[in-house]
Structure 1
Amino acid sequence: MDSIAGSFISTPKIAFNAYTMSGGSYGHNQPLMFPYVLLNLGEGYDKTTGIFTAPVTGLYFFSAHICNANAEFMVISIFHEGNEVAKTTQYESSRDSCSSVNVPVMVNMGGKVSIKSYGASNLQADTKYRWPSFAGVLLHI
């Protein structure tokens, strides 16, 4: 039994969850920053750039949550190493509303994952009800 137990590799604890309370207009392909960090196990998320850099190779799960403002579009994409891997569009003609997008991605050690706006977008955020966010977790190595 000891030989079987010794062959298992423990998955390191890597996870992050960051959000913003600042909205505004974004141009095409503009990075989104999430400066308020609730969790950063493994220290892979950089709040100054909005980029997650994988500390180890593995299967990760990423999630982003956005809100549109003033009956305008908010469109984002999750990028892995410059390639778009997920996208969501949020639009409500008469008020603000929110949307989320999730994606599993194989990321090599040092690989980068970020969120960028698509087209002209308008993000809604505030201190009480809307915290657009970006989160990720290592599922398996």
Structure 2
Amino acid sequence: MIDKIVAMQNKDDNKGRDRPAFTVSLTTREPTITGKVPIKFNNVILYRRGGYDPSTGYFTVPQTGLYHISATIMSRKGATFHASLDKNGQDIVLMYATKINGGNESTNIILELTKGNKVCVKHYGSGSEVIHGYGFCYFSGYYISK
């Protein structure tokens, strides 16, 4: 439905096939992350028109416009995990997964992004924390319109 609305607004009939989009997950076991560094989501589920680099954890915006960005993190049982959604080195949204039975936190946001901007989910804690992998943590984004 969103594809049809966007196509009508843009007078475009490609039904979203050419829009940048990605979905990645973290499947490594329970990595310890130290410092304010990007989380490297290693499992690429969807990769359309480029942008996400699993070796760095960054989504580099391939086309200027509005984007829907979402992320879900999960802490290891008995621990907490702090993260942020970061755009060009600035924290946009803070996330906190509690230690209650592997707490999780999700965020969804619409951002105006310019080609070349860098977006990531990064660790926000002051020390080292363990994030729950096994496919429970996700990062995704897709182009909405100009």
Q: With the length of structure 2 as denominator, give the TM-score of the two structures.
A: 0.82
From 92, 102, 106, give the equivalent of 2:108.
102
C-alpha distance in 2 between matches for 1:67 and 1:46: 21
Of 67, 80, 86 in structure 2, the residue corresponding to residue 60 of structure 1 is 67
2:119 matched residue in structure 1: 113
Structure 1: which amino acid aligns with 2:136? W
Q: Indicate the residue corresponding to 2:82 in structure 1.
A: 75
Aligned pair 1:34/2:16, yes or no? Answer: no
Hey, what's the Cα distance between the residues in 1 that align with 2:48 and 2:11? 18
Deviations 1:82-103 (A, max 9, x none): 111111101134x212221121
Query: Which amino acid is the alignment partner of residue 133 of structure 2?
Result: A
- Give me the whole-angstrom Cα distance separating, in 1, the residues matched to 2:131 and 2:54: 18
C-alpha root-mean-square deviation of aligned residues, in Å?
1.8
Please state whether the residue corresponding to 2:78 is helix, strand or coil: coil
Measured after TM superposition, the shift of residue 9 of structure 1 is 5.5
| Whole-Å separation in 1 of the counterparts to 2:27 and 2:44 | 12
Instruction: Give the partner amino acid of 1:41.
Output: R
Q: Is the contact made by 1:44 and 1:55 (CA closer than 8 Å) also made in structure 2?
A: yes
Mark the runs of 5 or more structure 2 residues left unpaired by the alignment.
1-9
- Which structure has the bigger radius of gyration? 1
Cα distance change of structure 1 residues 20 and 89 upon mapping to structure 2, 3 Å threshold: same
Structure 2 residue aligned with 1:47: 54
SS at match of 1:70: coil
**Secondary structure at the counterpart of residue 55 of structure 2:** coil
Q: 1:52 to 1:9 in 2, by over 3 A?
A: farther
Q: Return structure 1 stretches of 4+ with deviation > 2 angstroms.
A: 8-12
Q: Is the 8 A contact 2:21 2:48 kept in 1?
A: yes
Identity of aligned residues (%): 25
Aligned to 2:133: 125
Could you say what secondary structure the match of 1:115 adopts? strand
